Amino acid sequence: MSPTLTLNAAAGYLHSTYKSLTLQNTVLDGNDLPFAPRFTAEGGSDLSLFRNGNDGLTISPSIGYFSRQYFSPFNGTNAVGSSQNNRELQQEGYAKINLTAALTTGRVTFKAFASNLLNARVYAYGLDLRGGGFPYNFLIPSTPRTYGGSIRVAF
């Protein structure tokens, strides 16, 4: 049989801003909400290299894109009269590439995956610790490149 290709894609736009917000004597009207990328996009494919009844091998690459997101309602604005540097509390836009391969033979499926294949450096969270006496902001990294696999037996 010939290979079978299935494509999938999705895109999102999120306009989540504060209508009216004042924190620490700083007007933040119109700032983006934290952890809300404005644009997201995902695309992928499933390529069945061979199929014989329920047996087969499928390779599934995918990519996901997320635009810049802030970790603070201040976005890039610093609070009035403070030593904050909120420009550091953001994650620039990034993409992650993932790959999955599944081989089914009889009742057994062997699956392998690689997430964040190119090991994109991404932050999951950011805190401004300057107000607590620390001299810096703290950025918590997200999951690095991850590999794994599984075996499934159908009864």
What is the DSSP secondary structure assignment for residue 82, as one 8-state letter? S
Neighbour count for residue 126 (Cβ, 10 Å): 21
What pLDDT sits at residue 1? 47
Containing structural domain, residue 74: 4-153
Q: What is the pTM of this model?
A: 0.83
What pLDDT sits at residue 87? 82
Query: Which of 67, 69, 148 has its CA nearest to residue 114?
Result: 148
**Share of residues in the chain with pLDDT > 90 (%):** 67
Q: What type of residue sits at position 58? A: T
Is-contact 63 96, C-beta < 8 A? yes
* pLDDT tens digits, one per residue of 25-70: 999 999 999 999 999 999 999 999 988 888 999 999 999 999 999 9
CA distances from 122 to 25, 66, 79, 116, 132 (A): 31, 10, 25, 10, 25
* Number of domains, the chain: 1
**Residue keyed to tokens 């610093």:** 78
